[in-house]
Each structure stands twice: as C-alpha cells, then as structure tokens.
C-alpha cells in the first residue's frame, strides 16, 4: 500500500500526474446518534440532509476505478449505513477495491453482516466509547446503542467462522474523554470477548461547551500516558488485541 502511494507521488514529482490512490466517501451527514463530542456539535455546522442515489454513488465509484483508485474508505460524516448502503458497498467490492467502513455500529442487520463477509469487505471500524452500556450510551446519547454494537461484533465473528473467512477485520474506535479514559483496558477485554482485533484510540473534536468539558486535563493526560497506556499495552499482549496506545 505505502509503496503504491510513494510510486504515485514520485510520478507526480516527475511531471506525470496520476489519479488518487484512496477515495473517502461520506455517504451522508445525517446520524441516528448524538455524540457529545461529534464534529457536528459545532454551533456553526450546517447539516445538509439527504444523500445521493445509489446509482450516482455507483457512478462515482466507477469513475474512481477508471482513475485507478485502489482503496475506498466509507467514513462517518454521519452514519453511513443508510438503506442504500449495502448496494453501494457491494459495488466497491465488485470493482475489486480494498474497502474500509467506519460505523457507529447500531444499524447492522443479519443480512448486511452476511453480505459484507460474503463479498469480502476488508475492514470494519465500530465506534465504542466505553466497556458498558451506561458509559457508551450516555456519551453517544442513544439508548440501546452499546447492545447493538456488541451484537454486530459477535455476529461478524459468527458469520466469519461459519464461512471460513478472516474478513472483514474488526476494530473498535474509541474517542478518549473525561468519562472513559481509565476504561480502555476494559474495552480491550470487550474486544477479545467479541472477536474484535484492535482498539484505536482517537482524540475528540473540541468545538462546543460540552465537548470542552469532555477534554482530558493536562493532569489526566499525564496519568493516562504514565499509568493507563502501560496497562493497555500489557492487556493487549495478554489478549492478542492490538491498539495504537503506545504510538
């Protein structure tokens, strides 16, 4: 992957511009959650409703393939699992592209999990903001969200076993806040219990009074680095769950 990107940059430098290697698709800005730290909380954010048709998204993907795009990241402007999303995701793999999906994890169905495993989707990131429903649901301000995510992770593991597939790889994405920063080792345990391979820690977007109150203080950040990170790394080794805690 990196070699391919470097080769393209070298061609640009030599005056032979190439198409992009990676395409990021934000299928919609709408979301069924209301995370206290979401970028959408900024008072100046103007949310545009709706989305393009599945046919238009397929056309964009066809154009990307013609430009030699190799990697498609379906990411969260909002929550991408719209009703038409399965058709769009299927088209990504029909074109032979490497594929990543970031979701808040609440809208997977048995059919969608079966489809994604069946057509070889490469990687799925599920947002998990704590090791239990009380912590997670309060941060994303959606009752029942944690239960749905755990169901989705376990369902992926089950279908992958049934179909003898190691794809998609799974990770939990966790935004560090004042309400969950000490709980990361427990999220690694949850990952191990649900067949998830990695936990990626992310900073929050600080752009509103509420998100400001969720930002770690300098003292909390110091304790996190000195005390929590070593425990996370130790747990990761013990459980076989990767994380970016040490980087």
Our finding on whether 35 is near ligand SF4 (CB under 6 A) is: yes
For ligand SF4, the binding residues in 159-178 under the rule CB under 6 A are none
Our finding on whether 140 is near ligand SF4 (CB under 6 A) is: yes
The residue count for binding ligand SF4 (CB under 6 A) is 12
How far lies 62's CA from each of 27, 83, 92, 108, in Å? 16, 21, 9, 26
Our finding on whether 66 is near ligand SF4 (CB under 6 A) is: no
Our finding on whether 33 is near ligand SF4 (CB under 6 A) is: yes
Our finding on whether 80 is near ligand SF4 (CB under 6 A) is: no
Cα separation, 79 vs 103, in Å, equals 6
Q: How far is the CB of 137 from ligand SF4 (least distance, A)?
A: 12
User: Residue 31 or 88: which CB sits closer to ligand SF4?
Assistant: 31
Cα separation, 59 vs 95, in Å, equals 11
Q: How many CA atoms lie within 13 A of 23 on its CB side?
A: 20
Cα separation, 94 vs 53, in Å, equals 18
Q: How far is the CB of 177 from ligand SF4 (least distance, A)?
A: 12
Answer for which of 51, 69, 74, 78 binds ligand SF4 (CB under 6 A) is: 78
Answer for which of 21, 64, 76, 188 binds ligand SF4 (CB under 6 A) is: 76
Stretch that binds ligand SF4, among 43-51, 73-81, 159-167, 232-240 (CB under 6 A): 73-81
Our finding on whether 79 is near ligand SF4 (CB under 6 A) is: yes
Size (the chain), residues: 247
65-68 own/partner pairs: CB under 8 Å, 24+ apart: 65/95, 65/96, 65/97, 67/19, 67/20, 68/18, 68/19
Our finding on whether 40 is near ligand SF4 (CB under 6 A) is: yes
Answer for which of 28, 51, 104, 211 binds ligand SF4 (CB under 6 A) is: 104
List of residues contacting ligand SF4 (CB under 6 A): 31, 33-35, 38, 40, 76, 78-79, 104, 127, 140
């Amino acid at each position: 992957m990196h070699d391919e990107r470097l080769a393209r940059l070298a061609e640009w430098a030599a005056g032979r511009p190439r198409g992009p290697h990676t395409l990021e698709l934000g299928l919609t800005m709408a979301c069924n959650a209301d995370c206290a730290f979401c970028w959408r909380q900024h008072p100046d954010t103007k949310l545009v409703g709706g989305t393009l048709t599945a046919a238009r998204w397929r056309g964009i993907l066809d154009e990307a393939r013609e430009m030699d795009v190799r990697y498609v990241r379906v990411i969260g402007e909002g929550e991408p699992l719209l009703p038409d999303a399965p058709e769009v995701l299927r088209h990504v793999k029909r074109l032979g592209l490497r594929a990543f999906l970031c979701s808040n994890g609440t809208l997977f169905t048995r059919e969608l999990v079966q489809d994604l495993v069946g057509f070889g989707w490469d990687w799925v990131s599920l947002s998990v903001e704590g090791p239990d429903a009380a912590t997670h649901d309060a941060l994303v301000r959606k009752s029942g969200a944690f239960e749905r995510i755990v169901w989705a992770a376990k369902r992926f593991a089950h279908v992958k076993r049934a179909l003898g597939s190691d794809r998609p790889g799974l990770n939990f994405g966790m935004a560090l806040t004042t309400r969950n920063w000490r709980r990361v080792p427990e999220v690694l345990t949850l990952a191990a219990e649900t067949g998830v391979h990695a936990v990626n820690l992310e900073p929050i977007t600080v752009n509103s009074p509420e998100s400001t109150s969720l930002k770690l203080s300098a003292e909390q950040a110091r304790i996190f680095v000195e005390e929590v990170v070593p425990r996370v790394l130790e747990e990761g080794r013990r459980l076989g769950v990767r994380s970016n805690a040490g980087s």
